[in-house]
Amino acid sequence: MKKKAAPVTVDLFEQAVERLVALGKDADVSDQLMAGLSRPKAMLYASLPVRLDDGSTEYFDAFRCHYSQLLGPSKGGIRFHPDVNRSEVQALALWMTIKCALVGLPFGGGKGGVTVDPKALSRMELERLSRAYMRAMVDFVGPDKDIPAPDVQTNERIMGWMRDEYEVINGEQQPGVITGKPITLGGSLGRTEATGRGAFLCTEFLRNKEGKAAEDLTVAVQGFGNAGYHIARLLQEAGYRVVAVSDSKGGVFAEAGLDVEGVWEEKQATRLLKAVYCDGSVCETTDHDNITNAELLALPVDILVPAAMENTINADNVKAVKADWIVEVANGPISMEADLLLCEAGKVVIPDVLANSGGVIVSYFEWVQNRSGYPWSLDEVREKLEAKLSTAFEEVWQTQHQREQISLRSAAYSIALTHLDGVLRAKGTKEFFRNGT
Ligand code: NAD
């Protein structure tokens, strides 16, 4: 089997630190915090030998990063993707640190990944790879140390295999070692939809602030995977017109609005979004066009939802973006340069650390349920998610409005950094030891 080499065209981690330092200037925090947050606490690399179905052995690069544990154990997903590399894992772990601090979770930031195209593996090869990952990381993770979860191209079944491997090695039940598990293996109701639901709630909070009617707003979603599907579905149910969705192979557009549920069901059956409108029954009910991802990003819609990968909106294509609101469901979908240009153009960006935090919030709920041995109802999960996000959104909104000319991202970072700095100050920083303050 041929493994695609990871293209290292941009150093995502360098960019993430550069952005952290720039945004940190709006926050009155200690130099010690900024120095500490400019590097990961610990990083583990492992080469995973996996027996393939033809009897040969392939070696896969695997990473796990503890970025910060100032607020609690590290928390962050595991990505299976051909482009996974150390720099990407560290950047994603840094963003998890900011996210957990912003929404008030007792977690630090972490992340993990394997450089692999999981679609090229058989189901049994995928299971062997998932178990090999946990075997390599078994001393690095744990319910009080570092708690992984799903991310791009990993899912609840993979989380279930990893929980099982951890328990086989340690000889005890530890459901809280990983979140995003199947319900029957200790998962939480509402976890699968949580990232999309959280982003939907943030969009609703913004809509209420701006006094717009859902029926007047059109939406395009780039990246129709787990998170992208759930936000599209919920927006449509609330009355928004979802006119375009795409995946890595291309997209579909319908001026009158797509049947989101129908597109999703067809995609599950065919695994190919383009096939939906070319061959599926939805073809007969809705006029549509096939579009490229570049065309989707430039559509004259009100709301653009990048829900796929990093740096999707960058210096090369930012001028083409027409949407007034951008909801960052993906992590880091807008490059720093593009972000500044969008800000100057008066666009409103709900930043990733807020917009996609629903996933880690419900992962936290899952961990709490696992530790107390008391599962919650779906209503309870949804109510608590909404309460947490509403508080976080309001705080970000108020901070932005109190300080002139800062973005929602800048406000979000400022709140998160202040929270993290509080922990350092409680332990004593230079100011305390030198001046007694
Ligand atoms: P997923 O694997 O379920 O879906 C990703 C989708 O993006 C797929 O449909 C894929 O075809 C599409 N895609 C990939 N490359 C693309 C490209 N170049 N152009 C267009 N589409 C492309 O992954 P997911 O869990 O939905 O995650 C999506 C994003 O949301 C990632 O950035 C992830 O880090 C972020 N996120 C996910 C969660 C979660 O709980 N799953 C939580 C927070 C953030």
Give the number of other CB atoms < 10 A from CB of residue 387. 11
Which residue reads 């990407």 in tokens? 88
Residue of 97, 290, 309, 328 to mutate, ligand 1, most atoms within 8 A of C-beta: 309
170 lines ligand 1 (CB under 6 A): no
- Classified by CATH at the fold level, domain 39-176 comes out as Rossmann fold (3.40.50)
Calpha distance 209→204 (Å, rounded)? 9
Task: Point out the residues that are catalytic.
Answer: 111
Confidence of residue 293 (pLDDT cuts 50, 70, 90): very high
pLDDT computed for residue 414 by the predictor: 96
Q: Is the CB of 159 under 6 A from ligand 1?
A: no
Task: Answer yes or no: is pLDDT of 284 > 60.
Answer: no
Question: 250 CA to middle of ligand 1, Å?
Answer: 14
Q: What's the 254 CA to ligand 1 centre distance in angstroms?
A: 22
CATH classification (class only), 196-355? alpha beta
Parallel, antiparallel, or unpaired: how do β-strands 325-327 and 303-306 relate? parallel
Which atom of ligand 1 lies nearest, measured to the CA of 225? 4
Give percent above pLDDT 70 in the chain: 93
- Mean pLDDT, residues 35-52: 98
Q: Is 414 in the pocket of ligand 1 (CB under 6 A)?
A: no
CA distance 227 to 224: 7
Lowest average pLDDT, out of 27-31, 63-67, 166-170, 326-330, goes to 27-31
Closest CA relative to residue 357, chosen from 247, 235, 197, 245: 197
Q: Which strands, in side-by-side order, build the sheet including 42-51?
A: 42-51, 57-68, 108-115, 74-81, 146-150
Residue with CA nearest ligand 1 atom 17: 248
Band of residue 9 on the pLDDT scale cut at 50, 70, 90: low
| Average pLDDT, integer, range 296-312 | 97
Alpha-carbon dihedral sign for residues 51, 52, 57, 59: negative
Q: Which of 169, 196, 170, 166 is nearest to 181 (CA)?
A: 166
φ/ψ bin of 423: left (φ > 0), alpha (ψ from -120 to 50), beta (otherwise): alpha
Q: CB of 306 closer than 6 A to ligand 1?
A: no
pLDDT-based confidence at 433, cuts 50/70/90? Answer: confident
Q: Is 146 in the pocket of ligand 1 (CB under 6 A)?
A: no
pLDDT, tens digit, 9 for 90 and up, residues 231-268: 999 999 999 999 999 998 889 999 999 999 988 988 88
For ligand 1, whether the C-beta of 176 sits within 6 Å is no
Q: Whole-number mean pLDDT of the chain?
A: 93
Burial of 138 (0-12, 13-18, 19+ CB in 10 A): middle
Query: Is a pLDDT exceeding 90 seen at residue 270?
Result: no
Residue 154 CB–ligand 1 contact under 6 Å:
no
Q: Is a pLDDT exceeding 70 seen at residue 189?
A: yes
Q: What percent of the chain shows pLDDT beyond 90? A: 86
**Predicted confidence (pLDDT) at residue 282 exceeds the cutoff of 50:** no
Distance of CA 14 from the midpoint of ligand 1 (Å): 22
Strands 218-222 and 146-150 come out as unpaired
357 lines ligand 1 (CB under 6 A): no
Residue 76: HSE in the Cβ half-sphere, 13 Å Cα cutoff? 32
| Lowest-confidence segment of 7-11, 132-136, 288-292, 296-300 by average pLDDT | 7-11
How much is the average pLDDT of 210-231? 97
CA of 330 to the centre of ligand 1 (A): 6
Q: Whose CA is nearest to atom 5 of ligand 1?
A: 225
Say if residue 56 is exposed, middle or buried (CB neighbours under 10 Å; 0-12, 13-18, 19+).
exposed
Q: Is the CB of 329 under 6 A from ligand 1?
A: yes
Tell which one of 105, 226, 361 to mutate to probe ligand 1, the residue whose CB is within 8 A of the most ligand atoms: 226
Taking only the tens place, the pLDDT of each residue in 171-188 is 999 999 999 999 999 999
- Residue 277 predicted with pLDDT over 70: no
Residue 265 CA to residue 31 CA, distance in Å, equals: 51
CA dihedral 9, 95, 328, 340 (to 10 degrees): -70
Report the pLDDT value the prediction gives residue 289, as an integer from 0 to 100: 86
Q: What is the pLDDT of residue 272?
A: 56
Q: How far is the CA of 173 from the centre of ligand 1 (A)?
A: 31
The predicted model gives 91-111 an average pLDDT of 98
Query: Would the CB of 80 count as within 6 Å of ligand 1?
Result: no
Residue 288 has a pLDDT of: 75
pTM: 0.94
Is a pLDDT exceeding 50 seen at residue 2?
A: no
Q: Domain coordinates of the chain in residue numbers?
A: 39-176, 196-355
Query: Three-state SS string across the chain, please?
Result: CCCCCCCCCCCHHHHHHHHHHHHHCCCCCCHHHHHHCCCCCEEEEEEEEEECCCCCEEEEEEEEEEEECCCCCEEEEEEEECCCCHHHHHHHHHHHHHHHHHCCCCCEEEEEEEECCHHHCCHHHHHHHHHHHHHHHCCCCECCCEEEEECCCCCHHHHHHHHHHHHHHHCCCCHHHCCCCCHHHCCCCCCCCHHHHHHHHHHHHHHHHHCCCHHHCEEEEECCCHHHHHHHHHHHHCCCEEEEEEECCEEEECCCCCCHHHHHHHHHHHCCHHHHHHHCHHHHCCCCEEECHHHHHCCCCCEEEECCCCCCECCCCHHHCCCCEEECCCCCCECHHHHHHHHHCCCEEECHHHHCCHHHHHHHHHHHHHHHCCCCCHHHHHHHHHHHHHHHHHHHHHHHHHCCCCCHHHHHHHHHHHHHHHHHHHHCCHHHHHHCC
Atom of ligand 1 nearest to the CA of 194: 40
Q: Which residue pairs from 279-288 have beta carbons closer than 8 angstroms and sit at least 24 positions apart in sequence? A: 285/259, 286/254, 286/256, 286/257, 286/258, 286/259, 287/254, 287/255, 287/256, 288/252, 288/253, 288/254, 288/258
Comparing 249-258, 321-330, 411-420, which segment has the lowest mean pLDDT? 249-258
Pocket of ligand 1, candidates 78, 89, 152: which has the most ligand atoms within 8 Å of its Cβ, to mutate? Answer: 152
Neighbours of 95 (CB within 10 A): 24
Q: If you measure from the C-alpha of residue 228 to the centroid of ligand 1, how many angstroms do you get, rounded to a whole number?
A: 7
Please check the confidence at residue 393 and state whether its pLDDT lies above 60: yes
- Determine the distance separating the centroid of ligand 1 and the alpha carbon of 328, expressed in angstroms: 11
* Residue nearest to ligand 1 atom 9, measured at CA: 225
Q: 35 φ, ψ to 5°?
A: -65, -45
- Domain pair 39-176 / 196-355, same fold: yes
Q: Which residues contact 237 (CB under 8 A, 6 or more apart)?
A: none
pLDDT for residue 436: 64
